[in-house]
Structure 1
């Protein structure tokens, strides 16, 4: 088996059609699709059972309860039999020749990881992989987004991950963890100057929630903290020269969580409670960042919220404007 395509699913009923059709129509035949149902309660599990009964190269594994996106990906990796691995979110889709194009590139380059272009849907914005001499350093600095579906992997990278790491609950910061470990286990990384992936930025798994509550903040922090602790565990043992950058990357995750929640906070009392939460956790740099940078921006954000010319700021754009403190 050449490719294993791993598709985590949680309550995605009615949102997987484009994903499934793009897999059915691949020009490459030598691949398997592994769906991991992460305790869905909306009929997705039954739908996947019926789908996989109809396709010999489709299979599904079920979690009895929701164990998080990280755990679903670990389950998929543990059952993959392909010599190469591709991660696909269930609300996204890929080009018809994607797997065939990647096979040719793997065969000709011997790469451990191949990066490729992505279209952000429905905006139609194309994002090609930026160049860098040090991938691990670049994504820890925030120069490269850590999304693991922007790359394809030799199975040796996945095997090394399973040997060195174990699953944990995490729905925030999971891509930072996986990117750290995957790039940390790779020697040869190349780029394919071609769009292969279509990312749905407005629905399902990809949508950024505009709900802001203390319980949400705490839940996001717990996931990011779990991701951060596992990143540090790996870095300290296998890549200690990146420790300072890893700590900065973890702090960036916390800033993201604080930013997201402050922007959509109901009032100043909520803003104050969010800031104090990070101060109580000992994250003083994150607290200071919120006080000095996010509070003034929150005021500007609220004043313009009813302006027809104003569109909600992209959070990743915000971080390019606000330097690390």
Structure 2
């Protein structure tokens, strides 16, 4: 597609070792009803033949473009490479093991243009080994108010009744459409996922902070596949140093933009610190079964001022993961960190 002015949506897909799931992902992109789009496949040095699958789709459909990383950049910087090459009026992101409805990008694009939106959201269907679950919509708000709500949801949850207590959907970037001119105007990029995690939450947070108008399509158009080896499930993605760096980045953003002085944002941040600490300990011990390793991680978290302050701020925690060992583990962890 030579004339960049007719590209309405650029879909960026980092590709590493997607295995058997890549064909389903790219197949769902190849049948999109929106013709004026490009699908940028960023090959991040795959070793399982995913590059060959990508090349086959590019040969059959001119909407597919292939970028090749000279070294393994991981998902954050791979998305950044896609952003550098993107020509569409709007940008979307798709994970290499997920798939989408045939009319997804046409539906989101029409909503964006008709309502003059910077950001368009839709609920996703989360697919696990145990079954499927559709995520909820954001609260029904005017376009001018929704970006602030999205921002709060990306920072954290505030209560058990919080409408934004909906992590996979409220923090996800893959079921949303972003205006490329806004990304370029504010030089928004993903963080390096070799150094810190939650690159999607941080990108959405920074984008929503700068957005003027956002809207929703109340249809589940995106299928997000979990528990089959996707990036977010790997131990590398949630190692303690990356989690702490994520929390520091989040803290710095809130501080620079004077949001920590707001009690609601402060509570959301503190709760995120506590939840991420618990999740990291729980998953690491589940995998390694090492009390000594667990103790070293606890000490690592305790050494950080923002972690100590978050645990000292409140004796409780608003949990978002129903399978987590809740009160008992939290009380022990809080006691150790606060003393």
Q: Deviations over 1:36-72 (max 9, x none)?
A: 1122222223432343233211011111222121111
Contact map agreement 2:104 2:221 (CA 8 A) in 1? yes
Matched, 1:272 2:295: yes
Aligned with 2:83 (options 77, 81, 87): 77
Q: What is the deviation of 1:103? A: 1.9
Q: Which residue of 1 aligns with 2:3?
A: none
Q: Which residue of 2 aligns with 1:224?
A: 243
Sort the Cα spacing of 1:154 and 1:321 in 2 relative to 1 into closer, same or farther, 3 A: farther
Per mean C-alpha deviation after superposition, the further-off stretch among 77-86 and 247-256 is 247-256
For 2:298 and 2:125, how far apart are their aligned partners in 1?
35
Per mean C-alpha deviation after superposition, the further-off stretch among 106-115 and 166-175 is 166-175
Per mean C-alpha deviation after superposition, the further-off stretch among 105-114 and 263-272 is 263-272
Q: Which residue of 2 aligns with 1:182?
A: 207
Matched, 1:126 2:134: yes
* 3-state SS in 2 of match to 1:284: helix
* 3-state SS in 1 of match to 2:88: coil
Sort the Cα spacing of 1:79 and 1:227 in 2 relative to 1 into closer, same or farther, 3 A: farther
Matched, 1:5 2:11: yes
Contact map agreement 2:274 2:311 (CA 8 A) in 1? no
Q: Deviations over 1:197-245 (max 9, x none)?
A: 0111132325624x6xxxx59x7233334434444454444x3225754
Contact map agreement 1:68 1:169 (CA 8 A) in 2? yes
Task: Give the alignment of 1:1-325 within 5 angstroms.
Answer: 1-122=7-128, 123-131=131-139, 134-142=149-157, 143-145=165-167, 146-161=171-186, 163=187, 167-170=191-194, 172-205=197-230, 208-209=233-234, 220-237=239-256, 239-242=257-260, 245=266, 247-248=269-270, 249=272, 252-282=275-305, 283-284=307-308, 316-317=321-322
For 1:169 and 1:200, how far apart are their aligned partners in 2?
20
For 1:232 and 1:272, how far apart are their aligned partners in 2?
25
Q: TM-score, normalised by structure 1?
A: 0.78
Sort the Cα spacing of 1:10 and 1:184 in 2 relative to 1 into closer, same or farther, 3 A: same
Contact map agreement 2:8 2:89 (CA 8 A) in 1? yes
Gaps of 5+ in 2: 1-6, 158-164, 335-339
Q: How many residues align?
A: 296
* 3-state SS in 1 of match to 2:321: helix
Gaps of 5+ in 1: 294-313
Q: Deviations over 1:281-314 (max 9, x none)?
A: 453367889xx99xxxxxxxxxxxxxxxxxxxx9
Sort the Cα spacing of 1:250 and 1:3 in 2 relative to 1 into closer, same or farther, 3 A: farther
For 1:96 and 1:173, how far apart are their aligned partners in 2?
28
Contact map agreement 1:70 1:169 (CA 8 A) in 2? yes
Contact map agreement 1:177 1:228 (CA 8 A) in 2? no
Q: TM-score, normalised by structure 2?
A: 0.75
Root-mean-square deviation (Å)? 3.3
Q: What is the deviation of 1:269? A: 3.0
